[in-house]
């Protein structure tokens, strides 16, 4: 059976994944409004992926015979200073999520919850990929700098996701 402590932490992470989805949707809307449609597409797909992450927590909690507790979501920003600022914020957010996942896994270990540990391993691997993907975009944006041509090429590439 899930301990109350681990259940609370899993429900908090369910909320954090929904916030990730909300944040990337806000970023997508911003990019669309700024006519970076490829970036908007990439972020919209990312928002959907975060919703899937949230549902993994939802299903796991229910499969353990426990109660899902949905909570309020914070209001995300609706403007960023530049495309680079958008993806730097994405990378910072993913690093924050990685820390949360690692703490959750530490808790599952401390609570001797073996199914919880196996479940969370998927997220440990996923976070390596998520950080690498965001880092690559940040690196390439820094390469192109303020060059409109470079930004448009990058925008097209991100639109192919």
Half-sphere CA count of 54, side-chain side, radius 13 A: 21
- Alpha-carbon span 79 to 50, nearest angstrom: 20
Which residues are within 8 A (CB) of 49 and not within 5 positions of it... i.e. 6 or more apart? none
- How many chain residues touch ligand FEO (CB under 6 A)? 7
Residue closer to ligand FEO (CB basis): 50 or 88: 50
Cβ(31)–Cβ(40) under 8 Å?
A: yes
Contact track, ligand FEO, 93-132, x by CB under 6 A: -x--x--------------------------------x--
Q: Does 53 bind ligand FEO (CB under 6 A)?
A: yes
Q: Which residue is nearest to ligand FEO (CB)?
A: 53
Residue closer to ligand FEO (CB basis): 105 or 144: 105
Q: Does 28 bind ligand FEO (CB under 6 A)?
A: no
Q: Does 17 bind ligand FEO (CB under 6 A)?
A: yes
Residue closer to ligand FEO (CB basis): 50 or 155: 50
In the complex, minimum distance from the CB of residue 87 to ligand FEO, in angstroms, rounded to a whole number: 13
Both ends of the chain: CA-CA distance in Å?
40
Q: Does 20 bind ligand FEO (CB under 6 A)?
A: yes
3-class DSSP state of 112: coil
* Sequence-ordered alpha helix ranges (H) in the chain: 4-33, 37-63, 83-110, 114-144, 148-159
Residue closer to ligand FEO (CB basis): 104 or 141: 104
Q: Measuring CA to CA, which residue among 95, 70, 72, 91 is closest to residue 80? A: 91
In the complex, minimum distance from the CB of residue 17 to ligand FEO, in angstroms, rounded to a whole number: 5
């Amino acid at each position: 059976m899930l301990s109350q402590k681990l259940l609370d932490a899993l429900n908090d992470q369910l909320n954090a994944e929904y916030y990730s989805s909300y944040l990337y949707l806000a970023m997508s809307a911003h990019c669309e409004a700024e006519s970076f449609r490829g970036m908007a597409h990439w972020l919209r797909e990312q928002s959907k992926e975060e919703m899937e992450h949230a549902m993994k927590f939802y299903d796991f909690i229910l499969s353990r015979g426990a109660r899902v507790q949905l909570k309020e979501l914070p209001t995300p920003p609706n403007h960023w200073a530049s495309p680079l600022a958008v993806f730097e914020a994405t990378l910072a957010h993913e690093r924050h999520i990685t820390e949360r996942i690692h703490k959750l896994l530490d808790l599952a270990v401390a609570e001797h919850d073996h199914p919880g540990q196996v479940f969370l391993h998927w997220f440990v691997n996923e976070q390596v990929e998520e950080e690498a993907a965001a880092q690559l975009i940040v690196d390439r944006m820094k390469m192109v700098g303020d060059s409109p041509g470079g930004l448009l090429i990058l925008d097209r590439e991100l639109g192919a996701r």
